[in-house]
Structure 1
Amino acid sequence: MADQAEGKDQALETNGGHEEDQEPQHAHIELPSTDASHSHSSAPLVSSSGWDGKLRMPPRHAVLTNPDILSDPEYSDPEAPPVDEIEADEDLLDDYPPDTEDIDLVHLRISSIQALKLERFTNLKRICLRQNAITSISLPANWGEKLEELDLYDNLISSIKGIENLTNLTNLDFSFNKIKHIKHVNHLHKLTQLYFVQNRISRIEILEGLENLTTIELGANRIREIENLEPLHQLQELWLGKNKITEIKNLSALTNLRLLDIKSNRLTSIDGLEDLTNLEELYASHNAITEITPSTFANNSKLRVLDISNNQISRLANISHLKDLEEMWASSNKLADFREVERELADKENLETVYFEMNPLQLSAPAVYRNKVRLALPQVKQIDATFVRV
């Protein structure tokens, strides 16, 4: 896992370090990541601020083609000059042989899919049309049984239509569009990865038939309630960051879930995880959580990564049974007692990374903070953003 925590919001900030430590550097990272889930794409999956939908901040930059989606979703100015668009034509595809299986047309101001005359590519398995000005989907009917991946990230699509024949899809990305409702995808029985990051979705619905789905991303929408996920028995990753959720609930059917991201919501507790016995990674930073109760992680003994940063937690408690813990992120809380840190974490042989900066632990005595962490947790290799010299 190690790199799974790349770019956490508060994470890769500096800690100040002592001379016995190495120079500060960015936390080690590797994700089922942006690039894992979109491994064939040629452009970074990030917004203009560097956010990739999971609230990670990798050191790379991209400019959204349609930035109004972020700043004001309802924006419309009838007096504005016309957008400088280039309608796609055959010239864009001159370099592709007729038997190609993979097409990438990224950031080319394409507004018409039909003008591409895609029907000549009868063996196509993957097409990426990211960062264009596409408003509607019109794909060749003869692609139905062959196309496996469709990437429409960062366009101007408001309604899901035109994918009725694509029954062989395994990966579908509608992130950074204007979609309000999840519709017309439940016939995609082979789908394993589905992305709706940064749209206008207010409700999780109509997912029946997606029994093979392993990853669904719904970050940065308008969702208030976790619901209607029961059909997704194979789901392993659920991304719900940056919504308006107040309670973790209705997850009992997701017994294969390994990763839950629910950061930047409106949670006051982390109750509701009791049926997620295979959960390995939990990201719950930037909420209003006040405590970890005895029942919070009672059934989550497989947790390897726990992120509770930027909450209101005053006591580190009830995690001593998490023997497999590898990373503990608890920055920007109200933790003040090093005895709790030692009691809860000292026996974790696999624990390599801890974040406690911006707690009273650090703020009250910054000069001795790192040494105290090292004394309490001699096994760790990284304290905040700085690696520990062996």
Structure 2
Amino acid sequence: MKNKEGWDGKMRVEPKAVITNPEALEDSDYSDPEAPPVEEIDADEDLLADEDVNTEEIDLVHCRISSLSALHLERFEKLRRLCLRQNQIQRINFPSNVAQSMKELDLYDNLISHIKGLDEFSDLTSLDLSFNKIKHIKNVSHLVHLTDIYFVQNKISTIEGLEGLLKLRNLELGANRIREIENLDHLAGLEELWLGKNKIVEMKNLDALQNLRIISIQSNRLTNITGVSNLPNLEELYLSHNAITDLTGLENNTALRVLDFSNNQVSHLEHLSSLKNLEELWASNNQLSSFDEVERELKDKENLQTVYFEGNPLQMNGPAVYRNKVKLALPQIVQIDATYLRV
């Protein structure tokens, strides 16, 4: 019997829960890699019932798939490319025969927290795990045939776990939580490195990547340009939305064709004299104010066809005459901002 306060006349000790994973209280996306798998509910219908079993490509985009086993992929023994974008997949779990034949696997925009289940994908060349919930790059270093790997918009804070990917050409790590460029020395064949929208304060540890053609490091925390002077094959450099104040550090990058430093704090076009191969210069929303400097630094760039200067004092202080002044300074130009010039 209990009274109205709930007291039943006995000394009761409320049991206290023991929290074995305190991280869960601090991180709403926390998931324990050792926890039992979430139960997957099989689909009511066979989404691939009408698919030719000899097909080499399957696309199932935005189909609310949560259970890979419900797809019965084992019947597609010639499958080479599988796209399962925008579904509800939490675990990578494929039949062995499919894993061994697969070349391209696209799991963009799912609910994957941990990279597991790729052990048998021995011939994979392209892997897209963008827009998931991944915090750590693990269990991919055995995929020695990978040329392209994508981790856009995850929760990755450290570049790691890529040892062995000697054929990698394209590494996409945009929109994560990375603060430092590191652990890339072994990727000597890398040609494209995408690091936009992270928390990087300095470009460094890039000298071993002699084949790099493209670096995108937009929307980070850079205040100057460093770390690229020993990259002779660099053709495209994207630096927009940082806090860069001058263009020192590009003098040796004579192969540059595209330079984007929009939305920074650059006030002078110095240090570009050696960039004879420049074709596109994106410089919107800086502090550039001198047409004389534009002519002096860029007129000799015979291949230069496109310039973006809108949002600078040289455009805002005289918008009515801005385009004519650019044309007079740079007669070789065919595009000013988003507008093509009449021939």
Range class of TM-score, shorter chain: 0.7 to 0.9
How well do the aligned residues superpose, as a CA RMSD in angstroms?
Answer: 1.6
Query: Superposed, which structure 2 residues align to 1:88-99 within 5 Å?
Result: 88=43, 91-99=46-54
Letter in 2 for 1:151: D
Query: Superposed, which structure 2 residues align to 1:31-42 within 5 Å?
Result: none
Name which of 141, 145, 148 aligns with 1:193: 148
Letter in 2 for 1:253: A
Query: Superposed, which structure 2 residues align to 1:149-188 within 5 Å?
Result: 149-188=104-143
Q: Are the aligned partners of 1:86 and 1:109 in contact in 2 as well (CA < 8 Å)?
A: no
Q: Report what 2:279 is aligned to.
A: 326
Matched, 1:373 2:342: no
Letter in 2 for 1:210: L
- Residue 260 of structure 1 aligns to a residue in which SS? strand
Q: Are the aligned partners of 2:265 and 2:287 in contact in 1 as well (CA < 8 Å)?
A: yes
Letter in 2 for 1:385: A
Q: Are the aligned partners of 2:251 and 2:275 in contact in 1 as well (CA < 8 Å)?
A: no
Letter in 2 for 1:371: N
Larger radius of gyration: 2
Residues of 1 paired with 2:331 and 2:309: CA distance?
A: 15
Letter in 2 for 1:312: Q
Residues of 1 paired with 2:279 and 2:187: CA distance?
A: 28
Q: Report what 1:243 is aligned to.
A: 198
Query: Superposed, which structure 2 residues align to 1:1-390 within 5 Å?
Result: 74=29, 87-88=42-43, 91-293=46-248, 296-390=249-343
Letter in 1 for 2:275: L
- Residue 296 of structure 2 aligns to a residue in which SS? helix
- Residue 46 of structure 2 aligns to a residue in which SS? helix
TM-score normalized by structure 1? Answer: 0.77
- Deviation at residue 340 of structure 1 after TM alignment: 1.0
- Deviation at residue 231 of structure 1 after TM alignment: 1.1
- Residue 269 of structure 1 aligns to a residue in which SS? coil
Summarize deviations over 1:314-362 as a string: whole Å, max 9, x none: 1111102111100000000000011111111101111110000000000
Overall identity of the aligned pairs, in %? 66
Q: Are the aligned partners of 2:241 and 2:264 in contact in 1 as well (CA < 8 Å)?
A: yes
Residues of 1 paired with 2:72 and 2:44: CA distance?
A: 7
Q: For residues 253 and 260 of structure 1, do their structure 2 counterparts lie closer, same or farther at Cα, with a shift above 3 Å needed?
A: same
Q: Are the aligned partners of 2:115 and 2:139 in contact in 1 as well (CA < 8 Å)?
A: yes
Q: Report what 1:80 is aligned to.
A: none
Residues of 2 paired with 1:273 and 1:302: CA distance?
A: 12
Q: Report what 2:14 is aligned to.
A: none
Q: Which consecutive residues of structure 2, in runs of 5 or more, have no partner in the other structure?
A: 1-26, 32-39
Deviates more, 1:341-350 or 1:282-291: 341-350
Please identify runs of 4+ aligned residues in structure 1 that moved more than 4 A.
none
Q: RCO higher in 1 or 2 (8 Å CA, sep ≥ 6)?
A: 1
Residues of 2 paired with 1:120 and 1:90: CA distance?
A: 16
Residues of 1 paired with 2:333 and 2:41: CA distance?
A: 54
- Residue 133 of structure 2 aligns to a residue in which SS? coil
Q: Are the aligned partners of 2:138 and 2:161 in contact in 1 as well (CA < 8 Å)?
A: yes
TM-score normalized by structure 2? Answer: 0.88
- Residue 194 of structure 1 aligns to a residue in which SS? strand
Letter in 2 for 1:129: L
- Deviation at residue 292 of structure 1 after TM alignment: 1.3
Q: Report what 1:11 is aligned to.
A: none
Residues of 2 paired with 1:75 and 1:216: CA distance?
A: 25
- Deviation at residue 73 of structure 1 after TM alignment: 7.0
- Deviation at residue 98 of structure 1 after TM alignment: 1.2
Q: Are the aligned partners of 2:73 and 2:98 in contact in 1 as well (CA < 8 Å)?
A: no
Q: Which consecutive residues of structure 1, in runs of 5 or more, have no partner in the other structure?
A: 1-71, 77-84
- Residue 101 of structure 2 aligns to a residue in which SS? coil
Residues of 1 paired with 2:218 and 2:44: CA distance?
A: 42
- Deviation at residue 75 of structure 1 after TM alignment: 9.8
- Deviation at residue 94 of structure 1 after TM alignment: 1.7
Q: For residues 219 and 343 of structure 1, do their structure 2 counterparts lie closer, same or farther at Cα, with a shift above 3 Å needed?
A: same
- Deviation at residue 97 of structure 1 after TM alignment: 1.1
- Residue 324 of structure 2 aligns to a residue in which SS? helix
- Deviation at residue 299 of structure 1 after TM alignment: 1.6
What is the aligned length?
309
Residues of 2 paired with 1:153 and 1:310: CA distance?
A: 29
Q: For residues 111 and 167 of structure 1, do their structure 2 counterparts lie closer, same or farther at Cα, with a shift above 3 Å needed?
A: same
Q: Are the aligned partners of 2:109 and 2:130 in contact in 1 as well (CA < 8 Å)?
A: yes
- Deviation at residue 297 of structure 1 after TM alignment: 1.0
Q: Are the aligned partners of 1:280 and 1:303 in contact in 2 as well (CA < 8 Å)?
A: yes
- Deviation at residue 91 of structure 1 after TM alignment: 2.2
